[in-house]
Structure 1
């Protein structure tokens, strides 16, 4: 019996030693993490003011694309966030560690929203976050947002504008989370035809904060593919005045230019930006170019008619038509000269014929000279007017500023 009691005492002491050794192991960093996980704090930290302040010390912003058809700004943001959860503090005298790593899904993490985002998704950059001994948590998230931004395209292809990306966290009735944005940095600012000039944090109110993205289009590609072809086609139309009025070569060439420009506009229908409150003036430019080409073609057709007949279409016909040579030859061939009187009458008829030919030739020369004078006058008017128009249009594209209200989503 005494031996049995001694065995039980030995087992009891051994269990005490085992428990003591377990407590000693539990002071490790991993055991500290398991202790914090067991608290199961998945709800937002609650304070007396029913609100929680989320600091965002750094945001890395990147413009992925600018959709000029649907007027969308596609962005990527990587944000570092810091917040306080007092119930995740620990005593450094028991656990001698300043930091511990916890899984993201085991504690509450704030959600960052893009107010004016049509599509906005937030995902965690890592599956873990850092907790400090004073209850401060540090984490990093990635936000992909498609923002509805009515980009000012009036100056296209020299467009420039600013788009706000409004950042906020959830709050309602004074409860929730409030963000404090501190610093933003633009990474890889050149994407496609658009370039991110700068980004800055601005505030409308204490709770309405946004990142102002200053954008500009790189004009080289649109200028080469849009403006230069229209300039060259109009230049070719001006040079076509060097072709003679008679013969029809000029009219055929001008008709070809009009058809070519029409095909060019049909091809550009899917390339030109979409419409907005500040509609791209380049649409008006193409319309004016087409009107100029058609007007030049019509003037050339009218001058060709004027050079030939001395009158406009369906207005004035030619007078005193000279008989064809075949008819004259036939008439002369049947005449038999039998006397000096007949010879004189025949000679008179030949003289009248030659005078009529000379008169008709002089008349045609006058018509041609008059038409050529009008053609030269129209050429100088067309050339000077076209040059002034192009200079004025490019000046308006570069200098004029159309104002767009980008904050209509806040009401």
Structure 2
């Protein structure tokens, strides 16, 4: 039998009202979900002022560790279980043990990272699972960035622990309290830091002071190769550079290049490490000492070059003092020096002979200067 459109609409609305009013003629799972949604319980269950929420599992993941700012970025996925008796139903009328409800229509607990600088919590899905006895299950995802005062004294061989405090809202014995289960770590390798393990701790006997203690260890290979090893090699090159000749300025220019190179590595170190940590890294002292040694070595090389060239350390335009030895001894020494030259060097040409004579002359000036100093010390 067909009905007018107005009559048909009235029949549909009556059928919907019967479903919402728990009419036994509408016993489908969706009809049950609509009935629970229409109860519109968006506030916390109020059987007791302090409601207990169980957290059977937390999956922890380290996203990044900022060594410069001393901050830890982490991701937590928590499973939540709580009870709301007013969302229970009679299984003899609705023969279903579970039903899916939208999160926006039901009260859900909120977790907080109390020591977090930036914290966001979002639902892992737009639905949750409700049981016939009033139990509800849901998952949430928390992204948190916390201050992590890692002890960097032994950098790049540093290791320390960082707490992530997880609480829920409670005030004057009202609100929610958390009961934790297991904490599981997933994917602990990120960048230069490695997560060795996580452990759930409680401060004292208080239920509202729960911490996930994260054990961190730095991967020393990358900092060692990029910072420690170059500093050692630069010092080694500086020590070997004394084999270069004093004349021509090759030694001085090489040492200046080493100092500039080391300064570049010092800037890189300053960009990697914080400037106000509780324990200053010992590698910073190591770099400062190495830089001082390089500068001193460069200054000594400059002084020796001046001494080899002029035979004196006086930086003034004064006439040179005559050498203490007479002319005959000088001629004899020059003859000995010429006799000491190998025949092959003489055959190379006048340029080679002149270079060798300059070298011998510089060394002779250094010897004369040292002899004068020795004579002054003996007189005193």
- In the TM superposition, what is the alpha-carbon distance from 1:363 to its structure 2 partner? 11
Asked if structure 2 preserves the Cα contact closer than 8 Å seen for 1:197 and 1:216, the reply is: yes
- In the TM superposition, what is the alpha-carbon distance from 1:292 to its structure 2 partner? 0.9
Asked if structure 2 preserves the Cα contact closer than 8 Å seen for 1:62 and 1:77, the reply is: yes
Aligned partners of 1:297, 1:108: CA distance in 2, in Å? Answer: 73
> CA distance change for structure 1 residues 44 and 320 in 2, over 3 Å: closer, same or farther?
same
1:2-401 matches, within 5 Å, as 23-48=23-48, 50-204=49-203, 205-307=206-308, 311-313=312-314, 319-320=321-322, 353-358=327-332, 365=364, 367-368=366-367
> Over residues 151-192 of structure 1, what are the superposed CA-to-partner deviations in whole Å (9 max), with x where a residue is unaligned?
222222222111100000001111111111211111111111
What is the SS of the residue equivalent to 1:214?
Answer: strand
- Higher mean C-alpha displacement, 303-312 vs 282-291: 303-312
> CA distance change for structure 1 residues 243 and 24 in 2, over 3 Å: closer, same or farther?
same
What is the SS of the residue equivalent to 2:40?
Answer: coil
Aligned partners of 2:229, 2:252: CA distance in 1, in Å? Answer: 24
Tell me which residue corresponds to 2:356. Answer: none
What is the SS of the residue equivalent to 1:120?
Answer: strand
> CA distance change for structure 1 residues 362 and 286 in 2, over 3 Å: closer, same or farther?
closer
Asked if structure 1 preserves the Cα contact closer than 8 Å seen for 2:312 and 2:369, the reply is: no
Aligned partners of 1:317, 1:275: CA distance in 2, in Å? Answer: 56
- In the TM superposition, what is the alpha-carbon distance from 1:100 to its structure 2 partner? 1.1
Aligned partners of 1:247, 1:370: CA distance in 2, in Å? Answer: 20
Aligned partners of 2:24, 2:90: CA distance in 1, in Å? Answer: 16
- In the TM superposition, what is the alpha-carbon distance from 1:353 to its structure 2 partner? 3.7
- In the TM superposition, what is the alpha-carbon distance from 1:260 to its structure 2 partner? 2.2
Aligned partners of 1:317, 1:152: CA distance in 2, in Å? Answer: 61
Aligned partners of 2:113, 2:314: CA distance in 1, in Å? Answer: 66
Aligned partners of 1:237, 1:143: CA distance in 2, in Å? Answer: 53
Asked if structure 2 preserves the Cα contact closer than 8 Å seen for 1:125 and 1:140, the reply is: yes
Asked if structure 1 preserves the Cα contact closer than 8 Å seen for 2:33 and 2:101, the reply is: yes
What is the SS of the residue equivalent to 2:271?
Answer: coil
TM-score, normalized by length of structure 1?
A: 0.72
Aligned partners of 2:80, 2:164: CA distance in 1, in Å? Answer: 17
> Over residues 122-173 of structure 1, what are the superposed CA-to-partner deviations in whole Å (9 max), with x where a residue is unaligned?
0000100011111111000000111111222222222211110000000111
Aligned partners of 1:55, 1:107: CA distance in 2, in Å? Answer: 17
CA RMSD of aligned residues (A): 3.0
User: Any gaps of 5 or more consecutive residues in structure 1?
Assistant: 1-14, 323-351, 372-411
> CA distance change for structure 1 residues 122 and 308 in 2, over 3 Å: closer, same or farther?
same
Aligned partners of 1:54, 1:370: CA distance in 2, in Å? Answer: 88
- Higher mean C-alpha displacement, 63-72 vs 252-261: 252-261
Radius of gyration: which is bigger? 1
What is the SS of the residue equivalent to 2:42?
Answer: coil
Aligned partners of 2:312, 2:194: CA distance in 1, in Å? Answer: 58
Aligned partners of 2:362, 2:34: CA distance in 1, in Å? Answer: 110
Deviation beyond 6 Å, 4+ runs, structure 1: 359-363
> CA distance change for structure 1 residues 158 and 173 in 2, over 3 Å: closer, same or farther?
same
Asked if structure 2 preserves the Cα contact closer than 8 Å seen for 1:147 and 1:165, the reply is: yes
User: Any gaps of 5 or more consecutive residues in structure 2?
Assistant: 1-10, 335-359, 371-380
TM-score, normalized by length of structure 2?
A: 0.77
Asked if structure 2 preserves the Cα contact closer than 8 Å seen for 1:75 and 1:146, the reply is: yes
Aligned partners of 2:121, 2:169: CA distance in 1, in Å? Answer: 13
> CA distance change for structure 1 residues 311 and 366 in 2, over 3 Å: closer, same or farther?
closer
